[in-house]
Amino acid sequence: MDLTHKTTPRLEALRAEVRAWIDEVMPEEYRGFQWDFEEDPHRWSFMYDYWRKLGAKGWIWPTWPKEWGGAAMSARQAAVVHEELSRARAGEYGGIGMSVGPSIARLGTPEQKAFFLPKMAAGEIMWAEGYTEPNSGSDLASLRTRAERDGDEWVINGQKTFCTAGHWCNWMIIFARTDPDYSKRHRGISAFLANMQDEPGIQLTPLYNIADGRQNVVYFDNLRVPDNMMLGDLNGAWNQIWFGMGGDPIPTFEHDDPGPEMDYEPPLEGYAWVLDQLAQYCAETRRGGRPMIDDPLVREQLTDLAIGVEVNKVIGYEGWNCPYGSHMHQAITKEFQPEFGQICMDILGPLGIIQGGRWAPLAGEIDRIYRRSFGNHAGGTSQVKRMVVATRALGLPR
């Protein structure tokens, strides 16, 4: 597929501007930061500053209007920004909470929009997501966390799990049951926006993953949230936030397609970077008396990786234009990620698992990619993405 029609001289000028800016503000040692797998306070501190600089450019939410702190860019311009950030591994802003932005933009009260959107675009608010519960993952509508009204406040009690980077975030979106009639389970869930700072009603305990990252178990113990911090309608969170506006096929959320307020999801530029590095490593490293890159098997494996990266890129572009295309893209990407890690490991052999030091190829990046790829069901597993495409996009029976 020819992708050249996707670019123009103006887009390329923007690309050059973003590249130059990244080189100016992002030293090599901080590249590759991943907010869901990093625990070094020094790196986090650098990134908080960096995100504020990114926000000042309007590039955290490039498509948002200027009054919300965006850069009023077209989707294609925003794609260029995201691609360059991703290609330079220049830490995009807290990807988890990004899904809250479009929901506030669509459903928020004027006060909520005025308060949250500019702070999000400035890099001052980072959202934790409180959806999944110990017994409610893919089947989220079975959630049990309760919110009960008390005057002009809601009192929330319950437990969440897998809360990514919650301990680094200052706000959390929480799905809670507001209608105790469990038979109406999809129609009894509301969304709340809770300030986590100095909040005794929210307790987090660590849940470490195999890729050196930390999710959290979250306990709500009589957490009080003002009524004006309910997002969307009472009992309406499932349809309005989880599955688009009142059943409208225009989607709003990470389990649905991006709407106009949602920025384009960048292709796997980070993987393209790893592939380049790996190809270079194979060209420079001798095995069995010859450069690795001269081994026909290694060449075939590198070719498979390159095809996979390009296919994901094309689907990333094209999927954006069709209904439920982001699900299709995510299903394919989520399945490609472990495959990518596995093929890289196969190429490198035992050296691939070395995490640092002089013997670690690509400074341990392959080991990190391999381990991270198994946590890619954040935001929904590929099977669930496939199910959404089958039932909602293709109209197949359950």
164: left (phi over 0), alpha (psi -120 to 50) or beta: beta
327-to-236, 324, 384 alpha-carbon distances in Å: 22, 5, 9
Contact range with ligand FAD by CB under 6 A, out of 237-245, 272-280, 308-316, 371-379: 371-379
Report in angstroms how near the CB of residue 293 gets to ligand FAD at its nearest: 34
Closest approach of ligand FAD to the CB of residue 65, in Å? 28
Residue 222 CB, nearest distance to ligand FAD (Å)?
Answer: 21
Sole window of 19-27, 47-55, 113-121, 157-165 interacting with ligand FAD (rule: CB under 6 A):
157-165
CA angle 302, 303, 304 (to 5 degrees): 90
Task: Kindly state the smallest distance separating residue 152's Cβ from ligand FAD, in Å.
Answer: 27
Number of other CB atoms surrounding residue 45 within 10 Å: 10
Of the candidates 302, 348, 384, 388, which one interacts with ligand FAD according to CB under 6 A?
Answer: 384
55 versus 213: smaller Cβ distance to ligand FAD: 213
In angstroms, what is the minimal distance from the CB of 71 to ligand FAD?
Answer: 27
Contact of 121 with 55, CB cutoff 8 Å: yes
Name the token pair of 270: 């980070």
| Contact flags string 163-192 toward ligand FAD, x per CB under 6 A | xx----------------------------
378 binds ligand FAD (CB under 6 A): yes
Strands 127-130 and 171-177: parallel
Is 383 a binder of ligand FAD (CB under 6 A)? Answer: yes
Among 124, 219, 377, 393, binds ligand FAD (CB under 6 A): 377
Residue 285's Cβ-side half-sphere holds a number of Cα atoms within 13 Å equal to 16
Give the nearer residue to ligand FAD in terms of CB position, either 21 or 131: 131
Among 159, 295, 375, 393, binds ligand FAD (CB under 6 A): 375
Distance CA 131, CA 159 (A): 10
CA distance 320 to 273: 23
Backbone angles phi, psi at 173, to 5 degrees: -90, 135
**Strands, E assignment, the chain:** 127-130, 146-150, 153-160, 171-177, 189-195, 202-208, 214-226, 230-231, 286-287, 290-291
> Does the protein bind ligand FAD through residue 132 (CB under 6 A)?
yes
d(CA 50, CA 90): 9
CB of 213 to ligand FAD, least distance (A): 7
For tokens 């004006």, what's the residue? 228
Q: Rounded to the nearest whole angstrom, what is the least distance from the CB of residue 132 to ligand FAD in the complex?
A: 3
Residue 96 is a binding residue for ligand FAD (CB under 6 A): yes
Query: Among residue numbers 204 through 233, which ones bind ligand FAD (CB under 6 A)?
Result: 209, 215
Q: Are 194 and 174 in contact (CB under 8 A)?
A: yes
What is the closest distance, in whole angstroms, from the C-beta atom of residue 292 to ligand FAD in the complex? 32
Q: Which of 137, 201, 226, 364 binds ligand FAD (CB under 6 A)?
A: 137
Select 31 or 386, whichever has its Cβ closest to ligand FAD.
Answer: 386
Closest CB to ligand FAD among 52 and 377?
377
Bridge partners of 129, per DSSP, are 173
Q: Are 64 and 117 in contact (CB under 8 A)?
A: yes
Q: What is the distance between the alpha carbons of residues 305 and 275, in angstroms, rounded to a whole number?
A: 7
Closer residue to ligand FAD, CB minimum distance, 165 or 278: 165
69, 118 contact by CB (below 8 A):
yes
Tell me how far, at minimum, the Cβ of 128 lies from ligand FAD, in Å. Answer: 6
Residues that bind ligand FAD (CB under 6 A): 96, 129-132, 137-138, 162-164, 209, 215, 375, 377-381, 383-384, 387
